[in-house]
Amino acid sequence: MHPHANSANADHTFEQFLSQHLERDLLRFTTAGSVDDGKSTLIGRLLYDSKAIYEDQLQSIQQSKLNRSTGPMDFSLLTDGLRAEREQGITIDVAYRYFTTSRRKFIIADTPGHEQYTRNMATGASTADAAVVLVDARKGVLPQSRRHATIAALLGIPHIIAAVNKMDLVDYSEEVFRRVEADLQELALQISPSGAQTIHCIPISALEGENVVTRSAKIPWYTGPSLLEYLEEIPIADSNSPEAFRFPVQYVIRPDDSFRGFAGQIIAGSVRPGDRVVALPSKQKTRVRSIVTFDGALPEAGTGSSVTLQLENELDLSRGDLLVSEEGLPNIARKFAANVVWLHATPLDLHKRWIMRQVTDEVRVQATKVRSRIDVNTMESSLASQLGLNDIGIVEFEATRNLSFDLYSQNRNSGSFILIDPLTNATVGAGMITENLEKATRRSDPKLADVGSQGEKPAEPLQTAAVAISERVHRSGHHPGAVWLGAGSSLAAPLERALFEKGFHVVIIDDSQHPGEWSEGLVRGFYSAGMIVLYSSHQALEQKKHLLTSTIQPDRILHVDALSRDADDASLLQQIVAWVEGLRIARPEEGR
C-alpha cells in the first residue's frame, strides 16, 4: 500500500482530485527517543518513501561527504538542516517536515534526543496529536526513551507509538522485539498507572524501510499495520465533540465607532449568534450578536476557527479576557498547581517572579512551593526546593490576580502556560495546570452565586456550600425547579400536596405571606437547596417574573400562564405535574 500521495488517480477527474485534497485532515506528530535510535533516519525514510523529497534535495544528500549510515544514503541528512547538526551527526533543534498521503496531511516535528535539548523536544511535542518514540532494538528502553515518553504523556499527546527500530541489526528477531515490547508496556504502566496511556509497538527498520510505509516481508510474525498505515488510521482528537465554549480575546477590532469586534481563535466548543456568553474576569453577561469574517457572517463556528465576535452589549473587553459559555465556567483563581518542564539554566526557585502567559492573558506569578521532582528513571517523585534545566516537577504557584483556566487534562490551551524571565526575556518554563488550589472556586465544586447581588452588577466570585447541589439532587432524586403560577392561583395548594405525595421536595412561596421579601436571595436559596418552588405573586408581577427568569435556567421554569387558558384546573394540574416529573433524574436500577 504505497501512498500515491503525489499522483492523481486516473479514475478521477482532476477537479474531483482537487476537492479531495481540499478536504484532507491534518495530523501532527513528533519523534522522540534517545540519541541515535534513528529518529531522523525514520523521518527521512518516510519523506523519501512518500515521495516528498525532490531530486535536487536527494542529490545534495547523495553527494554529501557525510554519511554515517551503513546504507548507500544517510537519510538523517534530510532533516538535520543545520550545518552543526550534519557535522556532528546529531539533531540539535526541532525540524518540521511535511508530507501528504491520500488520507491526510502530516506535520512532523523531528526532535533532538540529547537531554540538553529537552526544551526543543518539548517544543516539538507540545502541539502533537501523536508521538513516535524510537527505541533501538539492540539497546532497548533507555533513560532518554523514558524521559521522552514521560514528557509526551505529560504534554497530553493522545497517542504514543513505539517504533522498535534497527530490526535489521537483530535479524528481525521476534524474541528481541517481544522483550522490548514488554519493557515498553511496563513503561506505559509507570507513566499511567490507570492504564489510560497505552503504547502501541511496531517493529521497523528505518534504514531499510521495513514496516515504515509498506508492511515488511521480513517480519512475517508481525501482522499489524506499518507505521504509516497506523498514523493514517489514528483518530484525531475530535475537537468538535460538544464542550463548553472558550474564546480568548486576542485583539479588538475597532475600525470606527460603529463596529467593535473581538478577534480570537475558539479553543473549545462552538458558538452561534444568540448564544449566551460570560466575559471573564469581569463576569459580565451578554449574547453573541454575530460571527464576523472576511468571507461573510457565519451561522456557527467551531473549535480551531479564528473568527471575530460581535456582542449584544457594549462590553469593554480587551486582550487577555476570556469569553465562555454560561454553562461550564472555568476555574477562576490566583493559586494553582502545575506540572512544569523547566527549560532554562536559571533554576526555578521560590524567590523570583515570572511573567506567565496563559492563553492570551499575561500576569506575574511566583512559585510558592516545589512539591516534587520526578525521577524519570523510576518515575518516582522526590522532594525538591528547585527545578533545574530539563527537570520535571509539580509546582504550586500564586499569581498577582485571578486567572481563568481549565485543567490541562481538560484543555491543552486554557490549561497550559509558559513562564518568561522578565530580566532576560527568555522562555524558562512550560506548565500544565493540574489543580485549582482555591477550594472556593474549584470547578468541580458546586457553585452558589453570590446571594443578594442586585441588578446588573456582575456577581462576586461564586461561593461554595459544604454540600454539593449534585449531592442534594442525588438524595432528592430530582433537579430543582420553579413553577410560576402568577397572581393568586388556586392551584398552589393542591399542587404542593400532589407533588409532595409523589416524593418531590416542594414548597410554596407566596408574596402575600412574605410581603416585600421576594428577593433574588430567596429564589437562589430555595433553588440551591434543590427544591421545587411554586411561586405565586400579588404585586409587581412583571418584575417578579423577570427576577425568576434572570436567575433560573429557562428549562427549569414552567410559566403556567403560558399553558392553555381554556384548560380547567384539573388538566392544568396534570400538565404541571407532568412537567415536574421531567425534573426527576434517571437512577440506575437498584439492588435487583
Partner 1 sequence: MTQYLYEEECDELPAFSVEGLPSVPRLSHLEMLEAESIHILREAAASFAAPVMLYSIGKDSSVLLRLAQKAFYPGKIPFPLLHVDTGYKFPEMIEFRDRYVKEVGAELIVHKNQQALDEGATPFALGTQKCCGLLKTRSLLDALAEGGFDAAFGGARRDEEKSRAKERIYSFRDAAGQWDPRNQRPELWNYYNGKLDKGEHIRIFPLSNWTELDVWLYIYKENIPIVPLYFAKEREVVVRGGSVLLTQGPIPLLPGEKTERRTVRMRSLGCVPCTGAIASTADTLPKIIEEMFGFHRSERENRAIDHDQEGSMEMKKREGYF
Q: Which is nearer to ligand GDP, 169 or 492 (CB)?
A: 169
Interface size with partner 1, residues (CB under 8 A): 125
Q: Rule CB under 8 A: say whether 306 interacts with partner 1.
A: yes
Q: Which of positions 494-523 make contact with partner 1 (CB under 8 A)? A: none
- The answer to whether 410 contacts ligand GDP (rule: CB under 6 A) is no
Nearest alpha-carbon partner for 61 in 70, 73, 43: 73
- Out of 381, 386, 402, 453, the residue judged to bind partner 1 by CB under 8 A: 453
What's the closest the beta carbon of residue 238 comes to partner 1, in angstroms? 7
Tell me how far, at minimum, the Cβ of 110 lies from ligand GDP, in Å: 7
Does 582 help bind partner 1 (rule: CB under 8 A)? no
The three-point CA angle 197-470-334 to 5° equals: 65
Q: Select 141 or 206, whichever has its Cβ closest to ligand GDP.
A: 206
Q: Which residues within the stretch 513-572 sit at the binding site for partner 1 (CB under 8 A)?
A: 524, 527-528, 549-553
User: 261-278 in b/e burial notation, b at 16+ Cβ within 10 A?
Assistant: bbbbbbbbbbbebebebb
Residue numbers 320-349 binding partner 1 by CB under 8 A: 325-329, 343
Residue of 258, 262, 244, 392 whose CA lies nearest to 324? 244
Please tell me the count of residues contacting ligand GDP according to CB under 6 A. 23
Q: Quote the CA–CA distance of 224 and 202 in Å, as a whole number.
A: 8
DSSP, residue by residue, 510-564: ETTTSTT---HHHHHHHHHTT-EEEEEESS-HHHHHHHHHTTS-GGGEEEGGGS-
Distance CA 266, CA 309 (A): 10
Please tell me whether residue 39 binds Mg ion under the rule CB under 5 A: yes
Q: What is the per-residue burial (b if ≥16 Cβ within 10 Å, else e) of 283-321?
A: bbbbebebbbeeeeebeebbbebebbbbbeeebebeebb
The answer to whether 316 contacts partner 1 (rule: CB under 8 A) is no
Give, as ranges, the residues between 58 and 97 that touch partner 1 (CB under 8 A): 60, 64, 78-84, 86, 92-97
Nearest to 197 by CA among 379, 350, 26, 48: 379
The yes or no reply on residue 259 touching partner 1 (CB under 8 A) is: yes
List Cβ neighbours of 261 (8 Å cut-off, separation of 6 or more). Answer: 252, 253, 254, 292, 308, 309, 310
Among 118, 126, 144, 205, binds ligand GDP (CB under 6 A): 205
Chain positions 410 to 429 lying near partner 1, rule: CB under 8 A, are 412-413, 416-418, 420, 425-427
Residues from 348 through 387 that contact partner 1 (CB under 8 A): 355, 357, 360
Q: Does 225 bind partner 1 (CB under 8 A)?
A: no
Residue 139 interacts with, from partner 1, ligand GDP, Mg ion, none (CB under 5-8 Å by kind): none
The Cα 251–Cα 264 span in angstroms is: 7
As measured in angstroms, the least distance from the Cβ of 165 to partner 1 is: 22
- Residue 91, interface with Mg ion (CB under 5 A)? yes
The DSSP line for 250-280 is: -EEE-SSTT--EEEEE--BS-B-TT-EEEEE
Can residue 113 be called a binding residue for ligand GDP (CB under 6 A)? yes
Among the listed ranges 165-173, 182-190, 270-278, 532-540, the one in contact with ligand GDP (CB under 6 A) is: 165-173
Q: Check: CB of residue 484 under 8 Å from CB of residue 557.
A: yes
Does residue 150 belong to the site contacting Mg ion (CB under 5 A)? Answer: no
| Total Cβ atoms within 10 A of residue 31 | 31
State the minimum distance, in angstroms, from the CB of residue 208 to ligand GDP: 6
Which one of Mg ion, ligand GDP, partner 1, none is in contact with 257 (Cβ closer than 5 to 8 A by kind)?
none
Going residue by residue from 18 to 37, which x/- string records binding to partner 1, judged by CB under 8 A? x--xxxxxx-----------
What are residue 521's phi and psi, to 5 degrees?
-60, -40
User: Nearer Cβ to ligand GDP, position 212 or 583?
Assistant: 212
In angstroms, rounded to a whole number, what is the distance separating the alpha carbons of residues 233 and 46? 16
Task: Answer yes or no whether residue 93 interacts with ligand GDP by CB under 6 A.
Answer: no
DSSP secondary structure letter of residue 237: -
With binding defined as CB under 5 A, does residue 120 bind Mg ion?
no
Q: How far is CA 404 from CA 334, 369, 441, in A?
A: 9, 21, 11
Residues found near ligand GDP in the complex (CB under 6 A): 33, 35-41, 68-70, 74, 76, 91, 113, 134, 165-166, 168-169, 205-207
